[in-house]
Amino acid sequence: MQQELGRNLTYGLQEVLGRAIVVGYYNDRPFPNEADIVREHGVSRSVTREAVKMLAAKGLLGARPKQGTFVLPQESWNLFDTDVLRWLLERKLSINLLRHFNELRVAVEPAAAALAARRAGPEQHAAILAGLDRMRAAEQGRDETLDADIAFHVAVLRASENPFYIQFRDVVATALRTSIRFTNRIAGRSASIADHAAVYEAIVAGEADRARLAMAKLIDDVLVLIEGVGEEAAAA
C-alpha cells in the first residue's frame, strides 16, 4: 500500500483520501477514523494526521468533539485549491462545472487582458507572443496543444501585473486542461489562432477595450459550445 502512495506518504495519502471524498465514496458511509486509516493504508499516525489536516485546510473535512472527523458539504470545499479542482474535474465530466468555470473566466480574463494592454512591457509582450507561437507550432504538431494554449492565457494573466489575477493562473492551468480537451472534441478543432492573435495584438497596441472584447469573445465562444451540449453527450 505504501508503494501505491508514492515516496511522499503524506501527499500520497492526501491524494487517495481527497479523491475518494470528491468522487463521493463517503457519501453513504462515515469517514474512517485515524486507526482505520493507519490500518488500511499502512501509514503512521503522524502521516495520517498531517494528511487529514491538509484535507481540512482544503475545506473537505471537519471535526467535532465526540463526532470525530467528517466530510464537509461541497459548498465548503475550496474550489480555488488546484487539488480540489483537479479531483472534481477527474470525476464524471460535469457540464455545469465547466460552465461555472468559464463564467468565472469571463469575469476575470478580459479584465486581465485590458490591464495588460495598459501595463505590459516588452518582456510581457514577448511571453504572450511565445504562447501564441507555441499554439501555431502545436497546429503543425511541433508542440503540445494544451500546454501552448495554457501558456498563452497564463502569460496574459501575468501581464496584468495584478497579483490577484496572477495567482489565478494555477486555477486556470488546472481547469483549462479539461475545458480545452472538451471544447476541442466538441468543436472538432483546436482553439482559433486568429482569435488569440487578436488578443495579443490589442495588448501590444495598448488598446484596453479591444483587448477586453477580444478575450471575452474567446471565452464566450467556449460558453456557447458548452451551452449547446447536454450532460449525456458530453460523457459519451
pLDDT 10s digits, 117-172: 999 999 999 999 999 999 999 999 899 988 999 999 999 999 999 999 999 999 98
Beta strand 68-71 with 61-64: parallel, antiparallel or unpaired?
antiparallel
Q: The dihedral of CA 151, 156, 158, 164: what is its sign?
A: negative
Tell me which residue of 127, 182, 134 sits closest to 157, measured CA to CA.
127
Reported as a single tens digit per residue, the pLDDT across 37-79 is 999 999 999 999 999 999 999 999 999 988 899 999 999 999 9
Q: Mapping DSSP to helix (H, G, I), strand (E, B) and coil, where does residue 95 land?
A: helix
Model confidence at 187, pLDDT cuts 50, 70, 90, reads low
Q: With 70 as the cut, is the pLDDT of residue 234 above it? A: no
Q: What's the rounded Cα separation, in Å, for the pair 124 and 154?
A: 11
What is the per-residue pLDDT for 27? Answer: 93
Distance of CA 209 to the CA centre of its chain: 27
The Cα-based distances of 33 to 16, 62, 64, 138 in angstroms read 15, 12, 13, 48
Share of the chain above pLDDT 90, in %: 72
- Percent of the chain as helix, strand, coil, to the nearest 5: 70, 5, 25
pLDDT of 236 above 50: no
209: pLDDT confidence band, cut at 50, 70 and 90?
very high
- Whether the pLDDT of residue 96 is over 70: the answer is yes
Q: What is the CA radius of gyration of the chain?
A: 21
pLDDT at 17 over 70: yes
- Cα pseudo-dihedral 141, 145, 149, 151, rounded to 10: -80
The label of the residue with cell 474535474 reads 89
pLDDT bucket at 89, cuts 50 / 70 / 90: confident
What are the residues whose beta carbons fall under 8 Å from the beta carbon of 146, sequence distance 6 or more? 176, 177, 180, 181
pTM, entire model: 0.84
